[in-house]
A and B are shown apart, each in its own frame.
Chain A
Amino acid sequence: MNGVSSRPLEHGETPWLLAVALITGSPHAWHLPGWLSALCGGVLGWRLWLWHRRRALPPRWWLALLVAGSTAGIGWQFGTLLGRDAGVALLVVFMALKPLEMARRRDALVVIMLGYFLLLSHYFYSQSIPTGLWLLIAVALLTGTLIRLHGGAQPIVAIARLVGLLLAQALPLMLILYLFFPRISGPLWGLPQDAHSGLSGLSEQMAPGSISRLIQSSAIAFRSRFAGTLPERAALYWRGPVFDDYDGLTWRASTPSAGTPAKSPTIDALGETYAYTTLLEAHNQRWLLALDMPTALPAGAALAPSLQVLSSEPVRARAQFPFVAVLDYRANAMETTDILQKTLSLPANINPRTRALAEQWRSMPPEKIAATALALFEKENFYYTLQPPLLGQDGIDQFLFDTRRGFCEHYASAFVFLMRAAGVPARVVAGYQGGEVNPIDGYLTVRQSDAHAWAEIWLAGRGWQRIDPTAAVAPSRIARGIAAALPDSEPLPPLVRLESDWLREARNRWEAANNRWNQWVLGYNPQRQKEVLSKFGLPHPDWQRMSAVLAGLCGAVLAIVVLWTRPRRRADDPAQRLWKKYCAQLRRRGVNRAPWEGPTAFARRVASEKPSLAALTREAAAHYTALRYDRSDTERPRRLRLLENCLRRLPPSRRNDV
């Protein structure tokens, strides 16, 4: 064994290994710092040049220097060497540097194994369809490299054919393992701090600008499919975090005060209910973005006192949640004093002009106060824009009386401030508003650009009522979406403002394909596995039964593969087959051809031992000899018929003849 692994590499094997390093490493260039990608590319290029010129590899200390330098660089860049991103960067560097000391089979094996790890690490960043295709190509190249290493120089076509065969045999096994391998939902241990970085979505607080930043992204937040009809667009308010604590600049969710037992919220449905399923993208938060208001919750989720649906764990992977919602409702008609107090409190001594305005409304009933505030937004010269002027101290005063330009978060924030100052319990709700139906698969697609913030006031006897001040300023935002509400000069992601039909069509198709991919490939978790397996006739499978089925199916596939690739014997030449038949007939008539006996010699022996068959056998032997050994013979089909004819002309065998 040692002898094999220490065998020096052949010249022709190196480019395969360099290609492996390139194909597994290069996609990481998207997210690695530029200097690192350049270094790795340069080192690989250098190695290729060394190979091309058949130069010796650089001395060890060179390599040590490069490793130390790049490790220090990574430590400096990422601030650590232990996190996920730093770990991937180190892997990429090792992959690029390993070829510089690649001299033996053992080193080649290290490159291959590093390649497998690099392939896996790429899925931290993307698990899209193109990544899946690239996986296939990369596995094919790695397998081809192994074949080249262990099978010696051979035509690329031969390698490609064998790789194709191996992959074709491996795919059914992969499918079975994918479906039946007992899934465990991770994590198995604490993940590094940066494990879920890069997940976008609503955040736990709302400051001016936080939502307008989110709006710049056309990434999908979630998709929903309704069992029946779709509610009208203006009613699609997807409830995210609820903010009731204001410090003059930022809205936050208040921490529930200790001691008071949390009262479970009540929602009375007053109208039609809608059942739907949401496929939520990972956002690393617990809220589930249910349609206002939910009446039935998915398993493992609960309704918080603030009426938001919270999952027991942060959503770290795309997951599916079934809901039932009602659009006409009475929510928490009886509210705890704790919450009512909180939703009335304001920081002291800020926004005096706003407070003074609200003081004038205090005598009015709450409904009237809200209507007056909305009328203020509608009548006065307020603008809806993504680029509002910066606000300083007493921001709401500035906004309401001076600048009057803002985005949904400004309007929601100012409205709630006014309500609280006028003595009406109110709070800010963040979430998404609207969505777009993909005609290809019928899913309602909600993007980050649909992020929104609105207000909620509490009215005695009627509970929490949603009031969207943005609707008063820019009704088209609610009715037709953000692109309609903003003038063309406002910056929006290009995909949100799609004009041309075929582009929109292409995007719809792509996203529908992605949706299937997400559900079947990426969203295949323990729960989904149970659903699928019960469709296969395996209700309530536990891991023992799954393993048994898995082993059985794998065995069956392997058996098929074994039979499929069983070395097939070359089909006997038809002439040979006929000659064998003829000799078998003669054996029954008492002349046995010895294995070493050629046709002519046999015919001669038959002539002496059984003269009655001499002529026929000589003829058969002559035809057979011509068919087998005379390549230039042009009358093969005729000769075959003649040989067959000889077989037929044999007189019937009589046992007593022997």
Chain B
Amino acid sequence: MRLLRLFQRWLFRLAPDEKLPIVLGQRRIFIVPTRAGALFAAVLTVMLIGAINYNLSLGHALIFLLAGVGLAAMVQTFHNLFGLRLLPGRAEAVFAGDIARFPLQLENTRRQSRRALEFSFQNQPSVSLDIPPATQATVAIPYAAQRRGLLDPGRVTLITRYPLGLFRAWSYPYPVFACLVYPQPIRTPLPGSASQAAGGNRSEHGGQDDFAGLRPRQDSDPTRHIAWKTVARRPDDLPLLVKQFAGGGADDLWLDWSQTPADRDDEYRLSVLAGWVVAADEQRVRYGLGLPTQRIAPAQGEAQRAACLHALALYGTP
């Protein structure tokens, strides 16, 4: 078993492709007859026996022509993959239970189109596409994200049976793919906005009412807090500054680990938090996130949502 796995590893080169773009060369393309191909061969054999038995010269010609077509189709099937260039892209984060889509940019440098290329991850549904001659196309390979965290979909299986379906050529490109999977949100009512847990430290965190100074901008800061006037007076290459506010925000919402049902497991509690983040974002309130390992200051907007969900997705992972 171990030997077999080693052999497979050697044959199929089951290591991630570091060098980009990935070019499908001879060494990486495998080809075997399909069931239809085996049937085709069996039918030709039976026909040949018939042609010999009845001395059908034209029958011989027909069988040999079909055999020739089959062999030519084998070469065509191989060439349908040969020389294809692949460049992996970044996958958008998804919630667990959704379909993650890994974009793969394909470049067809030859003068014929490549048709019926099927891409899939192991045990995942496949997606098929055609690439016209000398063009680029992008395929989004689906992967059903089950668990939160950083999803590594593994190698891609690229199959084609074009043109006649008698042979199946395949390759295992292994682009370095990763997709952030947020916990599956569980919708429960938002906790009360007056948060006891974070109440004591409220003044330490950025509020919205009283101007408290300037600090370099972070990605999660809303654009309307940028101190444009100050920024305009400074040289170009310094980071943007944002106004910092202290205290105040009665509508600041703290979504804290301690508010989630303590009798459930961690995954459930993370899901509850994720549900709150989504709901808070929909209601356009400012919210912060409190996790045992990390705190995210209250803010609002796309960046805040992403930052919170990112923290939830990777909670507890090294």
Chain A residues proximal to chain B, CB less than 8 Å: 1, 4-5, 109, 113, 116-117, 119-120, 123-124, 127, 131-132, 135-136, 139, 143, 146-147, 149-152, 154, 158, 162, 165-167, 169-174, 177-178, 181, 183-189, 191, 195, 316-317, 521-525, 554, 558, 561-562, 565-570
Contact = CB atoms under 8 A, between A and B. Distances in A.
Contacts of A561: 71-72, 75
Contacts of A171: 65, 68
With most chain B CB atoms within 10 A of its CB, the pick from A116, A117, A181 is A116
Nearest to A132: B58
Given A1-B35, A570-B134, A188 B64 contact: no
Contact of A187 (B53, B83, B162, B163): B53
A170 B51 CA distance: 19
B69 A569 contact: no
A87 to B, nearest CB: 11
A167 B161 contact: no
Contacts of B31: none
Given A151-B116, A169-B72, A146 B47 contact: no
Contacts of B109: 567, 569-570
Nearest to A110: B39
A177 B64 contact: yes
Contacts of A109: 36, 39
Q: Which of B43, B55, B130 has the most CB of A within 10 A?
A: B55
B interface, over-half SS: helix
Contacts of B64: 173-174, 177-178, 181
B216 interface: no
A150 B165 contact: yes
B54 interface: yes
A187 B115 CA distance: 44
A177 B66 CA distance: 11
7 nearest interchain CB pairs? Answer: A170-B68, A173-B68, A567-B110, A169-B72, A177-B64, A150-B165, A174-B64
Contacts of A151: 115-116, 130, 162-163
Contact of A558 (B60, B66, B75): B75
21 contacts: A4-B34, A109-B36, A120-B56, A120-B59, A120-B62, A120-B63, A123-B51, A124-B54, A127-B57, A135-B61, A135-B65, A139-B65, A151-B162, A170-B67, A171-B68, A174-B68, A185-B55, A191-B54, A316-B55, A565-B79, A566-B82
Contact of A173 (B62, B71, B161): B71
A135 B58 contact: yes
B197 interface: no
B62 A170 contact: no
Interface in B43-97: 43-44, 47, 49-69, 71-73, 75-76, 78-79, 82-83
A113 B52 contact: no
A547 to B, nearest CB: 14
Contacts of B165: 146, 149-150
Contact of A568 (B36, B56, B57, B111): B111
A653 to B, nearest CB: 30
